[in-house]
Amino acid sequence: MRKVIIVEGKQDTEFIKALAPTLEVKSIEIKELGGAGKSHLEKLQSPLQALKNDNAINPIEKIGILLDLDPKDFTVESRLAFVNESVEKVFGVKLLDTSVFQQVSDSSIQITCYFIKPNLDVLLRKIASKPSPSADCLYRCLETQANIGQKEKDKAWPLYYMRWDICDAKERRKGLENVSFKCTDTKEAWNLNALLLEDLKTFLSLF
């Protein structure tokens, strides 16, 4: 039976494939939401409904929802409530905690969730394994700008790190192709053995 992990975007997909390469070996499906902020509730509900409909024809064993916590907008409890608003509406079951499966009644489906704390962008900054003078310089500059939100500052660091600290001039000319987690991971830009990733690896091992 199928196993599906729902993530926020392309970078999340590349990251978890690198972190848990057996996901592809196991043919686990990864679906991207394109965002999961406070105003994006329908983006989670829609794929869940599609999976529920598909289950009648192509049975699903497990569904995992992997989102950023984004503590500016959510606590763990309110993020779980955000997820449950869609899960309860579609499947009629409530998730009680992260990394704990709940069985959907009269169905083969088990469902769970996990939150990256505080978010993937900050996590990437913490596991960067190469010198990062350009990204650090930009971040220090952004820190002085009161009109720029913390989320935007956090998002800028890995993009600058990949573009200016990891990619060379030739690679930067093909930015869409090379300024990505997938490409920079081949250049050993990230420490995927960092201890702070163990909890996430444990969650991914459930699939």
Domain ranges of the chain: 2-119+196-204, 130-189
Q: How many CA atoms lie within 13 A of 118 on its CB side?
A: 13
pLDDT along the chain (207 residues), means of 10: 94 94 85 73 88 94 95 91 96 97 96 96 97 96 92 94 96 90 96 96 95
> Which ranges constitute the DSSP H helices of 110-162?
120-127, 133-143, 150-160
**CATH number of the 2-119+196-204 domain:** 3.40.1400
The C-alpha torsion from 32 through 34 and 36 to 38, rounded to 10°, is -160
Cα separation, 84 vs 45, whole angstroms: 10
How do 29-32 and 2-7 pair as beta strands? parallel
Tokens for 78?
């309110």
> What was the pLDDT predicted at 159?
96
151-207 pLDDT, tens digit per residue, is: 899 999 999 999 999 999 999 998 888 999 999 999 999 999 999 999 999 999 999
Cα 35 to Cα 73: distance, rounded to the nearest angstrom: 14
201 torsion bin: left (phi>0), alpha (psi -120 to 50), beta (else): alpha
Model confidence pLDDT, tens digit, residues 151-161: 899 999 999 99
